[in-house]
Amino acid sequence: MSEAIKEELGAALARIEAQLEALARRVGRLEGKGVEEEAAAPAPGEAPPPLEARAPAPDQAAERAAPVPDALTEEEVLAVSAALAAYLGVRVRIRQIRLLSSAAWAQQGRVSIQASHHLHS
């Protein structure tokens, strides 16, 4: 391979890595990552670190992937139990409670609120 082609490929690779790094910073800002994580990113025009150096440590990836849920209090478990008993008409044994987050609930709440407004034509 000629020296000119190697230089051209190296320059193209550097541009691609710079674009990827800029996109990673933008995604970080949109996802609301901490200031310390953004400070670790190279400044514009600065060479980004190699890909191996950018990969998070396995323990850090696990911390981000699974946020630690808050423990339920005894009163909250009793309230859930009472609600189920009132709804089903029988006493139930609760084995597990998991909090599932869903954008559908938030969207339905917004739809309900917006539908209650009277729009004037």
Residue 42 has pLDDT above 70, yes or no: no
Asked if the structure places residue 68 within a domain, the reply is: no
pLDDT tens digits for range 8-24 = 888 888 999 999 888 88
Q: What CA–CA distance (Å, rounded) separates 20 from 26?
A: 10
The angle subtended at Cα 26 by Cα 25 and Cα 28, nearest 5°, is 65
Average pLDDT over residues 98-114: 82
Whole domain around residue 109: which residue ranges? 74-116
Average pLDDT over residues 101-107: 80
Closest CA to 45 of 23, 21, 9, 28: 21
Number of domains in the chain: 2
Residue 35 has pLDDT above 50, yes or no: no
Let me know whether 12 and 47 are in one domain.
Answer: yes
CB-neighbour burial class of residue 84 (10 A; exposed 0-12, middle 13-18, buried 19+): middle
Let me know whether 84 and 112 are in one domain.
Answer: yes
CB atoms within 10 A of CB 20: 13
